[in-house]
């Protein structure tokens, strides 16, 4: 009896040790997981969710703004503990979470939103959700009393990830939980873009939702079963799921199969639109015990097109079949069918199905070195500006206060070029992190309380042209290297203890005690010259304006009124000269049947299908009020298309210019744009080489007409595959002339203008000099040529060289055309024709515009390429046909390795 307390103590210790070990095992299972209970007090310890066993912790330290709240008691019984609290953001427009991640890793990211009338206003919020600088989704909680979840699979591009909530109206953004789960690197990979959750089903009558710990990746599986058409198959045996996707045993231990042995297995879903791209993942395992003569073999088809032939699931071993390229369904309706082959004695069987839509994130994050530097500056000075959240540079509407940024093109991360922290109550020394902003051109730290010396590293910053350190308490000597740096403007006034040696600084003493220091370098003579030149130019333009104020406005006119942000105000624009073919807004509404059918969306706005005179089909492009393009581009396109006509330029049927309602009405191009066909978004077979050549010949002819057939000549400025449209006969026509410019003076070789165009296609010489000429279009056309040859994206960060021109240049050194040519053509082309096209493309991309061919020469060369291909005879596929090899290669398969 005396030993009983000791025994009880020993049992208690064993129990505690076992519990600690169990907790350790759970923690290991959650390795890499990030589970934030948004709104949990930083004083509260992490806790385990009783339903899942997942460990949640406070979001304090991951976000620097917002207030905490709690859903009302009447909702508490509906939700698990992590959803009971929340963080809401009444201040600022963009509020962001910053999470450390492993670069290059696929993460499943989930954000949970439960309103629960936390504020007593019963006003369900709506706001935007961003992943880094790109829009992820719009969260509209209206009518969602049970909350909503946004889920995405995204490959990280840096070692930090930012999830931002953006206020878009009067309601306040809020969030309950934010969760990240790292996935196996060989799973859920895409050709481009990220995967937005659409559905995830396992086929069972259980009615049970499956999540962690059953699913080690914390995917949530919903049961689905069509009892009228299917019968359920189950097993108690273990299924080998170690193929990387690692589905739960409970998911793979059930499956659906048609009730009738001879019936196919069908599954139908609707997508948001016919242009929506998606990836589908089918998970199979044979879980029935087959008799010796039994076989199960079936074909997989999507909307009637064969995707995988004669497939047989492996016994008690999971296999995953998926498309390696994004798919589309005509009309947005998709029908997946599994149909038994003639040799099969059993009907098809499937265990689980996942589907994701593709979401593209084209905007690159700010240069990571610049991000580290600016955050170091933020931490050094304890800056808590509400706008200093998320990406510093992009998107532009959320640019951090006091910064300016720039990027060469869409393939280049933006860099910080301007930093203004004037009057920001800064104390201490000038932050050493500033020297890591290597692209910085202007630095303003004036009117603060900075102390210490002027650092010498400022002189080593090669891009820095303007430094304003006036109005501080700096002391010591100004470094000679800084004073001697050519082209630098340095302001040091108001630093009474600062010493400028050798009389290079002008000292002004009020009563003999205070000094004001100002140093400006360049040379005084140069300044005087600039002043004289500026006065002369001002006189010239005033004189010119008086003489041209009443003249007719042409596309190249300089009479536009410029505002400070380099945009043109609508009120300053003269009306369009030609009034023919003008439609009222009510006529536009009628012709589009109240904007019923959307054809697409561009930088200008939405494009709708319409009908004029009851039978003529048209495409109506409406200017969006949020568009980056404006009335200037609209006016330019109308005036150009009203005076130029060519079979390879998209014709303008008319326009609408009524108050805020602006529309361009074009001839209808039934087959969309060239990029859609190259990428497979339009469905059908891949364009053969002969058809590609025909399309670029016709595009080149349209461009050649602009350069040589127009008086004055025109430069398109935005030549790219999305601006090459195809009609019902696959005739190519050049479109989108909003950025086009003319040469108003005959014989002029170039126009000096602000750089415009599409990154990746932009002529580097034009970008560098601001001098625009026809050869800028030639460069862009060279990029188009490389696209039709390679069927590669213009920018691809995963390639050996990101830009297509650099990549092709590297591949050419290996001398094998097959390394460059689109593999989907399966060698069905004339090698001589291809080599000639490649050489022509590379000549168009010559860094020196004077060494590029003219568009007339390009047309001649391309016609020769086409003639060579036509004379070959060859085995080019008909455009409407699709070879079986093309279909069978659409799917990849991942299996569990067999035993040796």
Active-site residue set = 718
Nearest one of 449, 444, 479 to 464, comparing CA atoms: 444
The answer to whether residues 259 and 349 touch, using CB atoms and an 8 Å cutoff, is no
Going from the C-alpha of 600 to that of each of 362, 609, 621, 722, 780, the distances in angstroms are: 18, 9, 9, 11, 23
Nearest one of 494, 501, 438 to 469, comparing CA atoms: 494
Question: If you ran DSSP here, which 8-state letter would residue 640 be given?
Answer: H
CA distance 505 to 175: 56
Please, what is the Cα angle at 268 between 262 and 272, to 5 degrees?
Answer: 165
The answer to whether residues 386 and 455 touch, using CB atoms and an 8 Å cutoff, is no
Nearest one of 718, 704, 575 to 639, comparing CA atoms: 575
Q: Where are the alpha helices (DSSP H) in 658-763?
A: 674-679, 689-704
Q: From start to end of 288-359, where are the E strands?
A: 298-302, 305-311, 319-323, 333-340, 352-359
CA distance 821 to 786: 9
Nearest one of 386, 360, 321 to 64, comparing CA atoms: 386
Strand order in the sheet with 415-420: 403-406, 415-420, 442-444, 466-468, 489-492, 517-520
The answer to whether residues 113 and 142 touch, using CB atoms and an 8 Å cutoff, is no
Category of 304 on φ-ψ map: left (φ > 0), alpha (ψ -120 to 50) or beta: left
The answer to whether residues 621 and 661 touch, using CB atoms and an 8 Å cutoff, is no
Sign of the torsion formed by the C-alpha atoms of 307, 308, 314 and 318: negative
Instruction: Write out the DSSP string of 522-585.
Output: S-HHHHHHHHHHHHHHHHHHHHHHHHHTTSPP-TT-S-PPBPTTS-B-GGGSPPPS--TTB--H
For 555, list phi and psi in degrees, rounded to 5. -60, -35
User: Which distant-in-sequence residues (6+ apart) come within 8 Å of 704 by Cβ?
Assistant: 854, 855, 856, 858, 859
Going from the C-alpha of 729 to that of each of 228, 358, 667, 752, 835, the distances in angstroms are: 45, 30, 14, 39, 28
Q: Is position 375 annotated in a ligand binding site?
A: no
CA distance 254 to 705: 65
Sign of the torsion formed by the C-alpha atoms of 481, 483, 487 and 492: positive
CA distance 591 to 444: 55
The answer to whether residues 612 and 656 touch, using CB atoms and an 8 Å cutoff, is no
> Which positions make up the binding site?
621
Binding-site entries for ATP: 621
């Amino acid at each position: 009896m005396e030993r009983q307390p000791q025994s009880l103590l020993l049992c208690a210790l064993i129990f505690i040790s076992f519990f600690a070990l169990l907790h350790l095992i759970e923690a290991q299972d959650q390795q890499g997981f990030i589970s934030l209970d948004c709104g949990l007090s930083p004083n509260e310890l992490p806790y385990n969710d009783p339903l899942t066993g997942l460990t949640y912790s406070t979001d304090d330290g991951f976000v620097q703004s917002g207030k905490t709240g709690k859903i009302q008691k009447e909702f508490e019984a509906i939700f698990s503990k992590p959803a009971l609290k929340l963080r809401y953001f009444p201040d600022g427009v963009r509020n962001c979470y910053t999470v450390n991640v492993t670069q290059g890793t696929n993460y499943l990211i989930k954000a949970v939103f439960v309103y629960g009338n936390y504020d007593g206003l019963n006003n369900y919020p709506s706001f935007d959700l961003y992943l880094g600088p790109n829009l992820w989704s719009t969260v509209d909680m209206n009518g969602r009393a049970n909350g909503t979840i946004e889920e995405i699979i995204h490959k990280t591009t840096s070692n930090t990830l930012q999830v931002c909530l953006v206020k878009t109206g009067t309601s306040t953004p809020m969030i309950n939980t934010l969760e990240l789960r790292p996935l196996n690197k060989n799973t859920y990979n895409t050709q481009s873009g990220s995967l937005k959750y659409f559905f995830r089903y396992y086929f069972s009558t259980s009615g049970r939702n499956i999540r962690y710990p059953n699913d080690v990746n914390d995917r949530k599986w919903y049961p689905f079963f069509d009892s009228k058409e299917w019968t359920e198959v189950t097993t108690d045996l273990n299924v080998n799921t170690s193929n990387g996707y690692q589905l739960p045993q409970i998911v793979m231990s059930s499956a659906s199969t048609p009730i009738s042995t001879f019936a196919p297995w069908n599954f139908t879903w609707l997508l948001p639109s016919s242009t929506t791209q998606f990836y589908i993942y089918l998970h199979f395992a044979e879980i029935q015990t087959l008799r010796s003569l039994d076989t199960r073999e079936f074909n997989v088809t999507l909307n009637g097109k064969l995707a995988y032939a004669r497939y047989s699931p492996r016994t008690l071993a999971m296999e995953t079949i998926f498309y390696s390229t994004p798919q589309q369904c005509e009309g947005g309706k998709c029908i997946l069918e599994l149909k038994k082959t003639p040799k099969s004695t059993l009907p098809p069987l499937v265990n689980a199905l996942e589907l994701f839509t593709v979401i593209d994130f084209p905007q690159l994050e700010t240069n990571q070195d610049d991000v580290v530097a600016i955050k170091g500056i933020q931490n050094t000075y304890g800056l808590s500006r509400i706008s200093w959240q998320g990406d510093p540079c992009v998107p532009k509407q959320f640019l951090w206060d006091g910064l300016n940024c720039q990027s060469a093109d869409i393939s280049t991360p933006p860099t910080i070029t301007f930093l203004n922290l004037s009057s920001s109550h800064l104390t201490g020394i000038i932050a050493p992190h500033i020297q890591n902003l290597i692209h910085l051109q202007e630095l303003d730290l004036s009117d603060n309380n900075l102390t210490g010396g002027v650092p010498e590293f400022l002189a080593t910053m090669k891009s820095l042209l303007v430094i304003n350190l006036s109005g501080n308490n700096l002391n010591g000597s100004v470094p000679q290297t800084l004073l001697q740096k050519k082209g630098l403007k340095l302001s040091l006034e108001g630093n009474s203890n600062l010493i400028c040696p050798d009389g290079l600084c002008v000292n002004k003493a009020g009563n003999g005690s205070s000094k004001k220091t100002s140093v400006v370098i360049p040379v005084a003579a140069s300044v005087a010259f600039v002043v004289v030149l500026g006065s002369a130019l001002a006189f010239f333009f005033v004189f010119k304006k008086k003489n041209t104020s009443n003249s007719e406005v042409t596309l190249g006119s300089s009479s536009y009124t410029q505002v400070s942000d380099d945009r043109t105000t609508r009120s300053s624009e003269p009306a369009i000269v030609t009034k023919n073919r003008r439609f009222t807004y009510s006529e536009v509404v009628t012709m589009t049947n109240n904007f019923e059918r959307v054809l697409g969306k561009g930088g200008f706005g939405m494009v709708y299908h319409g009908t004029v005179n009851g039978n003529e089909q048209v495409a109506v492009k409406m200017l969006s009020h949020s568009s980056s393009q404006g009335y200037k581009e609209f006016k330019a396109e109308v005036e150009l298309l009203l005076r130029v006509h060519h079979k390879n330029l998209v014709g303008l049927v008319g326009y609408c210019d009524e108050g805020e309602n602006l529309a361009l009405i074009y001839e209808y191009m039934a087959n969309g744009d060239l990029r859609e066909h190259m990428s497979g978004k339009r469905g059908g077979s891949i364009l053969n080489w002969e058809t590609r050549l025909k399309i670029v010949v016709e595009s080149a002819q349209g461009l050649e007409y602009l350069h040589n057939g127009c008086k004055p000549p025109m430069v398109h400025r935005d030549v790219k595959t999305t601006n090459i449209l195809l009609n019902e006969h696959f005739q190519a026509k050049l479109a989108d002339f909003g950025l086009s410019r003319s040469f108003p003076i005959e014989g002029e070789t170039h126009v000096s203008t602000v750089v415009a165009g599409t990154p990746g296609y932009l002529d580097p010489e034009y970008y560098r000099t601001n001098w625009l000429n026809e050869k800028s279009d030639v460069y862009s056309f060279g990029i188009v040529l490389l696209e039709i040859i390679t069927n590669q994206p213009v920018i691809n960060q995963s390639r050996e060289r990101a830009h297509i021109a650099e990549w092709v240049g590297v591949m050419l050194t290996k001398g094998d055309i097959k390394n460059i040519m689109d593999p989907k053509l399966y060698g069905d082309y004339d090698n001589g024709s291809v080599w000639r096209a490649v050489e022509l493309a590379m000549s168009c991309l010559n860094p020196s515009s004077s060494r590029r061919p003219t568009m007339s020469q390009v047309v001649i060369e391309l016609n020769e390429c086409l003639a060579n291909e036509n004379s070959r005879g060859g085995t080019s596929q008909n455009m409407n046909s699709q070879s079986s090899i093309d279909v069978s290669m659409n799917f990849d398969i991942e299996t569990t390795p067999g035993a040796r």
